[in-house]
Chains A and B, each alone.
Chain A
Amino acid sequence: MALDLPLIWGFILAVGVFMYVLLDGFDLGIGMLTFVARSDEERNMMTATIEPVWDGNETWLIIGGGGLFAAFPTAYAIIMPAFYLPVLIMLAALIFRGVAFEFRHKAVRPTTQKFWNGAFFGGSAIAALSQGLMLGGMIQGITVEGGAFAGGAFDWLTPFSVLVGISVIIGYLMLGACWLVLKTEGELFQRARKWARTALAGVAICFLAVSLATLAIDPSVGERWGFSMTHIDFARLLPLSPVPLAGMFFCAWLWRDLSMPTGQGDAPDWRPYLLAVGIFLSGYIGLGLSLYPYIVPFEFTIWEAAARENSLSFLLVGAAIMLPIILLYTAYVYSLFWGKVKPGDGYHA
């Protein structure tokens, strides 16, 4: 039996991007939350929850870019020029934020400390926004002529992409706050629960808005879910309905966990983060169902954009061996830093 290599690579890429979202999502979220930190001490507690792992988290972004390059070069060659400016903005933001992890601790004067704290917050927020803008730009489609990008420099900037950008920011805030619930205690822990609840309300509204807008964006998406202006095709909708229903269920469960007075319920501190991941996962699968099998929405399918067969199989050997190993040692390092952070954790220099 011949393997459907483009399909396998489409799946690996989808998993890689999702890993990025759920891992770098929480540390970008915490980056944004440092803005409301009450003191340097609190800010340091917040960054200490992510310092040992952010570097590995961000590497999943290179799986996204690198995997697209390797497995779907045609899609890569269209998507990257189409998002030239948001990619640039994201990279600049990630550069400032990445070095700020270290530089915050090295700055001596209060003004430079403020600068790097600002770079950490601002870089995190702008990176999240630009990722959302690109996602929105992807969903709404890219202008392609003769197999190459043929649109304008600001095609990605529409009300829809701004909506998705804001949604991603709020989604990352929720992931970040839930990560703090898992990793902190005391006053910060209590505040993180409040932040997570507020963000959750925003996420529920945003996911609803983005879902409805996505249905309207291309006839093929509405058709997939059985929606048209005049009627609903339940034969199509019902088999897919568990996905959005699961998302709503996770939202409700997370709301309940976060509303319960601490110390009285049975909600363990790791559950909010897991439920937040569940919410993201249902949204992500829903998006996948809407766009499949396009990798450049409504222009190129995964088979049309794929690299040569022998390239896909050559790299698949490496991925099949290395990805399990990567997941294993990533899990090991996470388990090593498991548990609540204590004041003073995180200063390594």
Chain B
Amino acid sequence: MEFDALLLSRIQFAFVIAFHIMFPAFTIGLAAFLAVCEGLWLKTGNEVFKRLYLHWVKIFALAFAMGVVTGVAMSYQFGTNWSVFSELTGSIMGPLLGYEVLTAFFLEATFLGVMLFGWNKVGRKLHFVATCAVAVGTTISAFWILSANSWMQTPDGYAVDPVTGAFYATDWMKVVFTPSFPTRLVHMLLAAYITTAAVVMAAGAWQVINGRITTPTRWQMRMAAGTLTLLMPLQIIAGHQSGEVAHQYQPAKIAAAEGWCESAPVQGTMLIAWPSDTECGHTGITIPGTSPYLFANAPKGEDLKGLDAFAPEDTPPLWLVFYGFRIMVGAGLVMLGIGVWGCFLWWRGGLDKKGLFHWLAVPSGALGFVAVITGWIVAEVGRQPYTVYGALRTVDSVSPVSTAQVATSLLVFMVTYAIIFTAGTVYMARIATRGFDDDPMGKPTRERRAPGSPLGAVDDPAETGEDIVAAD
């Protein structure tokens, strides 16, 4: 393997996008959580929800800033490193991303200002509208980026100019709503909510472990446990549907993900595996005969294609897709377990009594991110060796830039992201673990607000006293 501009560009894209996706995944979910909290506060008047809002909005501000700056960097990658791809697909990808900017980016970026700084400038309802605008903006953003990516996975509604080789749209509805788009959008949005719920649960569990149990702590754990228990089963269904669509349109991806080496009428499910020296790669523990149930929609009487059905130059790198898939599923199942266990403890009144659950819930806070990244590895590495599946090869997409330039940029991104990721994680964790109030009963004991600060003018200053003091 030669470290040329192509390989380095691929590594750079993978690095930049894997780093970026963590923040949208977290902020899509957190924006929805904040909208729910503020809505519940306005509806019920229960101060707990206001305190949850004012607490988590600070973490949101940090995560959003990191999402924005890494997103701007992301958006320029197409041009700097994949200029041939950009030129050939510009007439299709350009408008999709253009709609994302027009309908989502401005909405979220502009109303974020109101959300963070408008607390005492606008009324409660208008502030709630701003929160909702940000939440809706993040969701619309997911819509368009998943639409663009799904067109790369299962391209539809296009033709190719015979002279220039450029792609152009013949049917915009088909371009926007490609076969893999609906299930992938649902899969990603659920992933965002689940990722956030796992983080919220982990923060609550940490507070319990450290004896900082307050009413908002209890509520955030309940809400997280409920969300995980409710959404994880839906996510398994959405993921499965997504897999069935992929099997229909991208059989090589599924063959790699499942580890099917040879075509056969009935395939099994490999639970765990270890690399072997054989061509196909793995030996492990397999449940035989599962495919008629898992891929019930596959055409009857035909073999399920294994990797042997494809020319070697048309198959994705096996081990990344294979292990990525298993790690994603494993992480999801652990989060399901955390959710169900949490709900059980809630029912039995043990959610705020320190125990094994809390020690497990804390590290599980990272599992949503693990699942998101490995899931995207399955999707994107599984699409290889193409950028537009079956139509444009990755090797034919790269910019005419030198290896030295790409090596430089990759190094710059790695150093930059290492610094901001470390700092950002420390600052977010500091707020998340600090908790809500010193009084275990959740009642405010003293007033500590920064004079003149916007949140200082909140109608009940003592309730938010802790929240407005800069991290200490």
Q: Is the CB of A69 within 8 A of B97?
A: yes
- Residues of B close to A346: CB separation below 8 A: 117, 454
For the complex, count residues of A whose C-beta is within 8 A of B: 75
Q: List residues of chain A with CB within 8 A of the CB of B103.
A: 318, 322
A91 touches B121 (CB 8 A): no
Q: Taking the complex as formed, is B210 at the interface, i.e. its CB lies under 8 A from any CB of chain A? A: no
User: Given A102-B61, A337-B113, A348-B58, are A307 and B94 neighbors across the interface (CB < 8 Å)?
Assistant: yes
A83-99 interface (Cβ within 8 A of B): 83-85, 87-88, 91-92, 94-96, 98-99
**B92: CB under 8 A from chain A?**
yes
Does B98 contact A67, Cβ atoms closer than 8 Å? Answer: yes
Determine the chain A residues whose CB is within 8 A of the CB of B168 once the complex forms.
308, 310-311
* A51 → chain B closest CB, angstroms: 6
Contact of A311 with B79 in the complex, beta carbons under 8 Å: no
Chain A residues with Cβ under 8 A from B452's Cβ?
A: 342-345
- Closest residue of B by beta carbon distance from A327: B106
Q: Give complex CA distance A239, B424 in Å.
A: 55
Q: A333-B111, A348-B117 are in contact. Are A76 and B87 (CB under 8 A)?
A: yes
Evaluate contact between B454 and A345: CB separation under 8 angstroms. Answer: yes
In-complex Cβ contact of B400 among A52, A65, A148, A307 (8 A): A148
Most chain A CB neighbours (cut-off 10 Å) among B95, B118, B122, B409: B95
Specify the main secondary structure of chain A where it touches its partner.
helix
Interface residues on B, range: 35 or more
What is the minimal beta-carbon distance from B57 to any residue of chain A, in angstroms? 8
A311 vs B92: C-alpha distance in the bound complex, in angstroms? 7
**Known: A329-B110, A348-B58. Contact between A99 and B90, CB under 8 A?**
no
- CB A10 to nearest CB in B, in angstroms, measures 15
Q: How many angstroms between the C-alpha atoms of A322 and B80 in the bound complex?
A: 28
A311–B95 CB distance below 8 A: yes
Task: Flag if B65 contacts A98 (CB, 8 Å).
Answer: yes
**Residues of chain B contacted by A87 (CB below 8 angstroms):** 76, 79-80
Q: Are B116 and A348 in contact (CB under 8 A)?
A: yes
Among candidates A69, A94, A102, A319, residue contacting B94 with C-beta atoms closer than 8 Å = A69
* CB contact list, B51-73 vs A, under 8 A: 57-58, 61-62, 64-66, 68-70, 72-73
List CB contacts (< 8 Å) of A119-172 with chain B.
Answer: 148-150, 153
Q: Which of B78, B107, B117, B402 has the most CB of A within 10 A?
A: B117
User: Does B416 count as interface, using CB distance less than 8 angstroms?
Assistant: yes
Q: Indicate which residue in B61, B76, B172, B413 contacts A348 across the interface (CB closer than 8 Å).
A: B61
Q: Which of A79, A106, A343, A348 has a CB less than 8 Å from the CB of B430?
A: A106
Give the residues in chain A near B66, CB-CB below 8 Å.
99
* A101 adjacent to B94 (CB under 8 Å): no
A229 in the interface, Cβ–Cβ < 8 Å?
no
Q: Which residues of the partner chain B approach A329 to less than 8 Å between Cβ atoms?
A: 106-107, 110-111
- Are B78 and A69 touching (Cβ within 8 A)? yes
> Is A63 close to B, CB under 8 A?
yes
Query: How far is it, in angstroms, between the C-alpha of A87 and the C-alpha of B472 when the chains are bound?
Result: 37
Inter-chain contact B62/A315, CB cutoff 8 Å: no
In the assembled complex, how far is the CB of residue A24 from the closest CB belonging to chain B, in whole angstroms?
Answer: 11
User: How close is B55's CB to chain A, nearest CB, in angstroms?
Assistant: 10
Contact in complex: A63, B101 (CB < 8 Å): yes
Chain A residues, CB < 8 A from B234 = none
Interface residues of B in 79-110 (CB under 8 A from A): 79-80, 83-84, 86-95, 97-103, 105-107, 109-110
Within 8 A of A (CB), among B132-175: 166, 168-169, 172
Chain A CB count within 10 A is highest, among B57, B97, B102, B404, for: B102
A108 to chain B, nearest CB (A): 7
What are the residues of chain B within 8 A of A279 when measuring CB–CB?
none
In chain A, residues 59-84, which have Cβ atoms closer than 8 Å to a Cβ of chain B? 59, 61-63, 65-74, 76-81, 83-84
User: What distance in Å separates the Cβ of B383 from its nearest Cβ neighbour in chain A?
Assistant: 20
CB of A326 within 8 Å of the partner chain: yes
Is A292 an interface residue, CB under 8 A from the partner?
A: no
Contacts of A148 in B (CB 8 A): 83-84, 400
Q: Which residues of A contact B94 (CB under 8 A)?
A: 66, 69-71, 73, 307, 311, 315
Name A99's contact: one of B88, B424, B431 (CB within 8 Å). B424
User: Of all chain B residues, which has the CB nearest A72?
Assistant: B90
Residues of A within 8 A of B89 (CB): 73
B359 at the interface (CB under 8 A from A): no
Contacting residues, chain A, for B121 (C-beta < 8 A): 336-337
User: A106, B102: Cβ atoms under 8 Å?
Assistant: no
Q: Which residues on B sit within 8 Å (CB–CB) of A149?
A: 83, 399-400
Q: Is the CB of A95 within 8 A of B92?
A: no
CB-based contact B117/A344 at 8 Å: no
Task: Write the nearest CB–CB distance from A120 to chain B, whole angstroms.
Answer: 12
Answer whether A349 and B69 are a contact pair too, CB < 8 Å, given A65-B79, A106-B427, A307-B91: no
Interface string of B280-299 (1 = CB under 8 A from A): 00000000000000000000
Whether a CB of chain A sits under 8 angstroms from the CB of B198 is no
Q: Which of B90, B117, B169 contacts A77 (CB 8 A)?
A: B90
A344 to B449, CA, bound (A): 11
Please, what's the 1-or-0 string for B34-52, where 1 marks a CB less than 8 Å from any CB in chain A? 0000000000000000000
The answer to the question of B471 belonging to the interface, with a C-beta cut-off of 8 Å to chain A, is yes
Q: Tell me, in angstroms, the Cα distance from A267 to B242 when the chains sit together.
A: 63
User: Among the interface residues A67, A76, A95, which one has the most CB atoms of the partner chain B within 10 A?
Assistant: A95
**Which of chain A's residues have a CB closer than 8 A to the CB of B416?**
92, 95-96
Query: Do residues A79 and B79 form an inter-chain contact, with CB atoms below 8 A?
Result: yes
What's the minimum C-beta distance from A219 to chain B, rounded to whole angstroms?
A: 28
Q: Is the CB of A66 within 8 A of B423?
A: no
Asked if residues A101 and B99 are in contact (CB atoms below 8 Å), the reply is no
Question: How many Å lie between the Cα of A1 and that of B113 in the bound state?
Answer: 42
By the criterion CB–CB under 8 Å, are A310 and B169 in contact? yes
Instruction: Take A55-B112, A329-B111 as given contacts and tell me if A84 and B80 are in contact as well, using a CB distance cutoff of 8 Å.
Output: yes
Asked whether A77 lies within 8 Å of B87 as measured between CB atoms, the reply is yes
Which residues of the partner chain B approach A150 to less than 8 Å between Cβ atoms?
Answer: 400
Across the interface, do A108 and B471 meet the contact criterion of CB distance under 8 Å? yes
Given that A65-B79, A318-B99, A348-B454 are contacting pairs, would A81 and B468 also be in contact in the complex, using a CB cutoff of 8 Å? no
Contact of B86 among A52, A69, A85 (CB under 8 A): A69
CA gap between A135 and B405 in the complex, in Å:
20
A329 CA to B103 CA, complexed, in Å: 12
Determine the distance from Cα of A226 to Cα of B135 in the docked complex, in whole angstroms.
Answer: 54
| 15 other A-B residue contacts (CB within 8 Å) besides A103-B420, A349-B470 | A52-B117, A52-B118, A70-B97, A72-B90, A77-B399, A96-B416, A106-B471, A310-B91, A311-B92, A311-B169, A329-B110, A333-B111, A337-B121, A345-B454, A347-B450
Closest 6 CB pairs of A and B: A73-B90, A80-B79, A70-B94, A344-B452, A52-B113, A77-B87
* Chain A residues within 8 Å of B, Cβ to Cβ: 51-53, 55-56, 58-59, 61-63, 65-74, 76-81, 83-85, 87-88, 91-92, 94-96, 98-99, 101-103, 105-108, 112, 116, 148-150, 153, 307-308, 310-311, 314-315, 318-319, 322-323, 326, 329-330, 333, 336-337, 342-349
Q: 26 A–B contact pairs at CB < 8 A? A: A56-B109, A59-B101, A59-B106, A62-B72, A66-B100, A73-B86, A76-B87, A77-B84, A81-B83, A84-B401, A84-B405, A87-B79, A87-B80, A98-B65, A101-B65, A102-B65, A106-B62, A106-B471, A153-B401, A308-B166, A323-B102, A326-B107, A344-B456, A346-B117, A346-B454, A349-B61
